[in-house]
């Protein structure tokens, strides 16, 4: 039986690693071959509409939520059954990965059901090189009032501002994936499939190296500053003891006389 779901690529996996610690809990909408990569590092809850694929990855906690029409209109969006999600989603998790429903079934149903999910965790929306997913990501960022970070084939909505190093590491991994893609694939999504600047992941490796050096330099300066503060406090204490020693001596004599 052929699995139609595309696996998670290095860019998305790197984004997850930058956003949450290992052994965190992830909720993914849509499961597939990439789930096997996630369960090796995280606790995973996989929302799956197709019963044939429930249990596809033994290490994940599956939530079978068939697609239903969200309203009675003719052009109603078909999305995961919200009531099943309301009852089955874990109370605590650290990240949401949006990679389903699959294909042309549509992911816009998430927009009217964001209340089912925690909004204080990062969201990663895969496949935002496609117009539909890109629109979903933009509207989610608007609704959540969060910054939207767009890479060539996925996007991140984060409750916190990403650091320069986090962005650099994610971009480097995303470019490594882009560099392997064939031209016909890119032409199916981009009007101009050839970037104006060269795809050079090594450029970002150099950027990461510079950021690491700056961080180490700053940490060294902070350590030196703390050491100086400690020395100054110690010297001040010694000077204070020295200056007050005559008074403390006299005070001691007076106390002895009283006794």
Report the interhelical angle of 201-258 vs 164-178 (nearest 10°): 160
Burial 185-194 (b: 16+ CB within 10 A, else e): ebeeeeeeee
* Residue 107 belongs to a domain: yes
* Residue 223 belongs to a domain: no
* Residue 3 belongs to a domain: no
* Residue 123 belongs to a domain: yes
C-beta neighbour count of 184 within 10 angstroms: 8
| Residue showing tokens 């699995």 | 3
Nearest Cα neighbor of 128 from 140, 120, 119 is 140
Residue 79 belongs to domain with CATH number: 3.40.50.150
Domain range spanning residue 33? Answer: 10-162
CA 138/CA 142 separation, integer angstroms: 6
Per-residue model confidence (pLDDT) at position 237: 65
Per-residue model confidence (pLDDT) at position 250: 64
* Residue 191 belongs to a domain: no
Per-residue model confidence (pLDDT) at position 76: 87
Supply the pTM of this predicted model: 0.80
Nearest Cα neighbor of 34 from 124, 106, 122 is 124
CA 179/CA 194 separation, integer angstroms: 11
Give CA separation, 207 vs 5, 73, 165, 217, in Å.
34, 51, 8, 15
* Residue 112 belongs to a domain: yes
* Residue 17 belongs to a domain: yes
Nearest Cα neighbor of 135 from 151, 155, 121, 113 is 155
- Tell me the average confidence (pLDDT) per consecutive run of 10 residues in the chain, 259 residues long: 62 98 96 93 97 93 96 91 98 97 85 97 96 96 97 97 96 94 92 82 84 79 75 68 69 66
| Residue showing tokens 């010297």 | 235
* Residue 252 belongs to a domain: no
CA 177/CA 78 separation, integer angstroms: 31
8 Å CB contact between 29 and 91: no
How many separate domains does the chain show? 1
- Helical H segments across the chain, by residue range: 10-19, 34-39, 82-88, 131-144, 164-178, 183-187, 201-258
In sequence order, which residues have a C-beta less than 8 Å from that of residue 181 and are 6 or more positions away? Answer: none
8 Å CB contact between 99 and 127: yes
């Amino acid at each position: 039986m052929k699995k139609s779901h595309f696996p998670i690529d290095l860019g998305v996996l790197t984004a997850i690693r930058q956003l949450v610690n290992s052994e965190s809990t992830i909720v993914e909408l849509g499961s597939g071959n990439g789930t096997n990569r996630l369960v090796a590092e995280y606790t995973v809850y996989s929302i799956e509409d197709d019963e044939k694929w429930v249990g596809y990855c033994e290490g994940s906690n599956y939530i079978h939520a068939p697609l239903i029409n969200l309203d009675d209109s003719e052009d109603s969006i078909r999305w995961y059954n919200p009531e099943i999600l309301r009852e089955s989603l874990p109370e605590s998790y650290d990240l949401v990965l949006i990679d389903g429903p699959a294909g042309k079934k549509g992911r816009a149903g998430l927009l009217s059901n964001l209340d089912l999910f925690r909004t204080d965790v990062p969201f990663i929306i895969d496949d935002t090189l496609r117009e539909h997913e890109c629109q979903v990501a933009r509207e989610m960022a608007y609704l959540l009032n969060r910054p939207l970070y767009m890479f060539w084939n996925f996007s991140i909505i984060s409750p916190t501002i990403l650091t320069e190093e986090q962005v650099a590491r994610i971009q480097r991994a995303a470019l490594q994936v882009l560099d392997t893609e064939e031209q016909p694939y890119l032409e199916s999504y981009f009007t101009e499939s050839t970037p104006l600047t060269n795809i050079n992941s090594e450029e970002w490796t150099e950027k990461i190296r510079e950021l690491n050096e700056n961080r180490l330099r700053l940490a060294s300066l902070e350590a030196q500053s703390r050491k100086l503060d400690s020395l100054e406090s110690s010297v001040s204490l010694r000077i204070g003891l020295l200056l007050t020693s005559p008074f403390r001596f006299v005070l001691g004599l007076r106390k002895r006389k009283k006794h």
